[in-house]
Amino acid sequence: MHSVILEININIGDDGGIYAEIIDNRAFQDIARAFTDLKPGYVRLPDGNNLEGLTIPERFIWNNTVGPLENRTGRRGTWTGYNTLGFGLVELLSFVEDIGSTPVLVVYAGYSLDRQAVSQDQIQIYVDEVVRELDILTASASDNKMDALRAYLSCSEPFDIRYVEIGNEEFFNPSPSSYGYRWFAFHSGLSQKYPNITFIATTTQSIETSPAVDDHNYEVPLFFINNFCSYKKVPRSDPKVLAGEFSVTNDDDSKLNNPFDSG
């Protein structure tokens, strides 16, 4: 679909000069090499808090991140600074494809970091946004309308989207109180239209069932020691688990029995 991100293209001009080919919006080679060397089985994009945005209008609106750079309006960054959207949805998916990984596409599910949720009577608008997104990304090349739109976005072939996650970290209060109707609207609206895609929830607190759930754990070392075998105890009939994020966030060494401690 795109030239390999680590490739340097040198062209001979009509005047006999040698010129480097300029490719817009490619990843820096050192970053690309680091990712390639990691050989990730999957890459979750466009991330979680980046997707939600600080407010609903400042969410990751996929169609604002594609097309000519000069038409991308940008938005306030979730963490700091300003997000120009120069490395948008197509660039992200192309990057994952180029390094030989599988994308897990996360879609906005109507909840932002200011703890505001889209109301039940308005949620269909956001479901329709995702339908348009998936139609353009995955429709067959024989679909002339979608193929023409992809060509405008510099995509010659459909992307292979196998996994779609609905929302991000919906277990934080007060999100679960609205995730039930939001998950139902998205999952029921999308799963029938895209039967070959596995849809992933971010919590099971307020929904009846899901094919898979994304677990995020930021805990002290003792938590990970105590829960080392926790997934072995999960019944195989339960939803599949994606351990999407995990990290030790602070030190509780005083509670650990360290066999390497000389003291």
pLDDT bucket at 151, cuts 50 / 70 / 90: confident
pLDDT bucket at 4, cuts 50 / 70 / 90: very low
Nearest-10 Cα torsion for 76, 134, 183, 235 = -120
pLDDT bucket at 3, cuts 50 / 70 / 90: very low
Residue 63 lies in a domain: yes
Q: In what order do the strands lie in the sheet with 102-107?
A: 42-45, 102-107, 163-166, 198-201, 212-219, 240-248
Residue 110 lies in a domain: yes
Residue 158 lies in a domain: yes
Residue 254 lies in a domain: no
Q: What is the pLDDT of residues 214-234, one digit of tens each?
A: 999 888 888 888 899 988 888
Which of 5-14, 171-180, 229-238 shows the lowest per-residue confidence on average (mean pLDDT)?
5-14
CB 148 within 8 A of CB 158: no
Give pTM, 2 decimals. Answer: 0.83
pLDDT at 22: 46
Beta strands 42-45 and 18-20, pairing class = unpaired
Residue 18 lies in a domain: no
pLDDT at 254: 59
Q: Which residues fall within 8 angstroms of residue 192, CB to CB, at 6 or more apart?
A: none
Q: What is the pLDDT of residues 38-62, one digit of tens each?
A: 999 999 999 889 999 999 999 999 9
Residue 223 lies in a domain: no
Nearest-10 Cα torsion for 241, 245, 250, 256 = 30
Q: How far is CA 135 from the centre of its chain?
A: 17
CB 59 within 8 A of CB 53: yes
Mean pLDDT of the chain: 85
Kindly state the percentage of the chain with pLDDT values over 90.
49
Count of domains in the chain? 1
Residue 231 lies in a domain: no
Residue 169 lies in a domain: yes
Which of 48-52, 72-76, 144-148, 224-228 shows the lowest per-residue confidence on average (mean pLDDT)?
144-148
Domain of residue 183: give its range. 27-210
Q: What is the pLDDT of residues 101-122, one digit of tens each?
A: 999 999 999 999 999 999 999 9
Which CATH number does the domain housing residue 96 bear?
3.20.20.80
Pull the structure tokens for residue 133: 């997104």
Which of 156-170, 197-211, 244-258 shows the lowest per-residue confidence on average (mean pLDDT)?
244-258
Buried/exposed 130-154: b ≥16 CB within 10 Å, e otherwise: beebbbbbbbeeeeeebbebbeeeb
The residue that leads in pLDDT, 127 or 10, is 127
State which amino acid sits at residue 226: N
